[in-house]
Every structure is written in structure tokens, then in C-alpha cells.
Amino acid sequence: MSGIGLDVDREALFAIEQMNKAYARCLDDDRLEEWPDFFLDDARYLIQSRENRDAGLHGYILYFENRAMMRDRVKSLRIANYYNLHTDRHLIANVDIVGESEGVYDARANYAVIQTDAEGHSELFSAGEYVDRIEFRDGVPKFRERLVLLDTSNIVGLLAVPL
């Protein structure tokens, strides 16, 4: 029965599920300043289309390889950039641990982000998968890497707020 993951590390999975819920709430509540805290200092946050991934190409829409770059993103969104007025709703499902080695967990999750514009219209903005590497610090899971793998490789409008 291990093929369907019944032997999963339940404690770790619970912690990772809770982290994903907190991550979604953080972004949906527009508490962007707290978003880098889900990551280790030298963690990578990447957004890449499945099309590029499958072709073995970099093609990152965003490429951050430390927490400073994440803080820069948030600062720029706050003080410099104009983007579509909207609210996000992250729906994260199928959170699972698919591997573990020396305390680094490989985790996956599906996501969908519904955006609602300033006039109240909601649309599916992005669908895809989180491909994560996670480590625990004092019992708290932190991202070593979060790769947002876009099924929605054709971005409609623009992508300002992290997925």
C-alpha cells in the first residue's frame, strides 16, 4: 500500500500542509512583507512554465535565489510598480511528500489562483504545481526551494504578486 503514500511521515506532512495554508493566507491577505519568512535565507523562489521545463530551458518568469530578492520584490511592488488592482485566492490541494533525504523533504502540491478585479469579476488566473524542497528549522518547515510550475504558461495581463 506504500504506493499511495500510507507510509508518509505524518508529522512532517501535517506541518507542510499547515505551511501551505499559512502561505496561501499570507498572500491572499496581502501580507506580502511576511512572504519571504516562509523561505530560508539562501532559498530559491522560481516561476517557470511547464513548456520551458519540459524543453530543458530556463525561461523563468521570476528567478530569485535568496530571500533578499524576495524582499526586493515586495518593496518594489509597494513603492515602485503599478499593477492590476485585485485580490488573490490561492487554492492549494494534493499536498504530499514525495521523497526525503537527509532532512530535506521533496513535496508537491497543486494550486489554482483565482483573481478578482476592482469591479468584482473573478477569473482563474493561474493553475499549476508547487515543486518544493523543504527543511525544518526548530520544528518549523521552511522552503529551501519553491518552484511554481505553471500549467498556465500564457500569462493574461501581468503577474505582480507572487504565486
Partner 1 sequence: MTETASSAGRIGSRSNSGGLVWPAEGWSRVPFELFCDPEIHALEDERLFRGPHWSYVGLEIELPEAGDYTTCYVGATPVVLVRDEGGVLRGFVNRCAHRGAEVVRKPRGNARGFTCIYHNWSYDRAGQVTGVPWEKGRGGVGGYDASFDKSRHRMQPLRVASWAGVVFGTFSDDAPPLEDYLGPAIRERLSAVFARPMMLTGYQRHTIRANWKLLYENSRDFYHAPQLHKFFGAFGIVQPDQAARAEMWHEGTHCLLTIYQDPGAPKPRIRLEEPRVAAFRTALPDNIAISIVGIFPNCLFTLIGSAFSIRQFRPKAPDRFEVHYTYFTYADDPECLREHLFQNNQFGPAGYVAMEDAEVVEKLQARIALGAEKGASLVAMDGTDTTPDRVDHMVSEANLRAMWKGYARFMGFAPPKGGTAKPVAERPDR
Residues forming the site for partner 1 (CB under 8 A): 47, 49, 51-52, 55, 57-64, 66, 68-69, 71-72, 75-76, 79-84, 153-160
* Cα gap 46→22, rounded to integer Å: 19
Write the burial class of residue 76 (CB in 10 Å: 0-12 exposed, 13-18 middle, 19+ buried).
Answer: exposed
**Whose grid coordinates read 499547515?**
18
Between 68 and 104, CB nearer to partner 1? 68
Minimum separation from the CB atom of position 70 to partner 1 (A):
9
The candidate with the shortest Cα–Cα distance to 33, out of 71, 6, 88, is 71
* Cα gap 127→110, rounded to integer Å: 8
Between 44 and 133, CB nearer to partner 1? 44
Between 91 and 158, CB nearer to partner 1? 158
Minimum separation from the CB atom of position 124 to partner 1 (A):
13
Between 86 and 108, CB nearer to partner 1? 86
Amino acid at residue number 65: E
